[in-house]
Each structure stands twice: as structure tokens, then as C-alpha cells.
Amino acid sequence: MVHIALHFIVPLVYSLLFFRDRLLRTWLILSATMLVDLDHLLADPIYDPNRCSIGFHPLHSYVAIVIYVLLLLPRKTRLVATGLIIHMALDYLDCFI
């Protein structure tokens, strides 16, 4: 449960630190990157508390993560890319806890 909460709290803290003037909009965009977890629906079982998402699910693959990093380059995709990278970092941390 803490893991899911962090997917909303960390983007909020990031928004507060760097986008205070557009706080709600930024937080909503960063939180929308949670939709990347829809790839969990392809797994069997859908939820496994002992499974590391990184490298297992298609949108959590290392190739996808490289694409997310490349999406930091264009200004128009930078915020979404930041949300996806935050998401992947939190999921990566979850692999060790």
C-alpha cells in the first residue's frame, strides 16, 4: 500500500519543488503515468507481491526505460517522461524491499 501511495506522493513533492505555479496540472500529468501499470494486466497472475516489475512487464522493460529517458530530450514530452522515470525508479526500489 505504501508503494502505491508513493506513486502519488513523490510526483506531488516533485511538483511542489519545481512547478509550484502549475502544481495541480503538473501533479495530474505525473500521476497519469500510473497508467503504465496497465501492462500488469498481461501477466499471470496479474498481481504478484514478490515479482519485480522492472524487466518483467513490457512497459517496464529496459528498452522501454531507455525510450522514457530519450523522451526527456524534447521539451513537449519531458514532463511525461519525468513521470515515467519516477514511476520506474519507485518500481525498481520495490524490487529490493
Q: What is the pLDDT along the chain (97 residues), one digit of tens a residue?
A: 788 899 999 999 999 999 999 999 999 999 999 999 999 999 988 888 888 999 999 999 999 999 999 999 999 999 999 999 999 999 999 888 7
**Rounded alpha-carbon distances, angstroms, from residue 50 to 37, 40, 60, 76, 91:** 16, 14, 16, 36, 12
Is 54 in contact with 92 (CB distance < 8 Å)?
yes
pTM over 0.85: yes
Is 83 in contact with 32 (CB distance < 8 Å)?
yes
| Angle (nearest 5°) at CA 57 between 52 and 63 | 105
Tell me: cis bond preceding 11? Omega within 30 of 0 counts: no
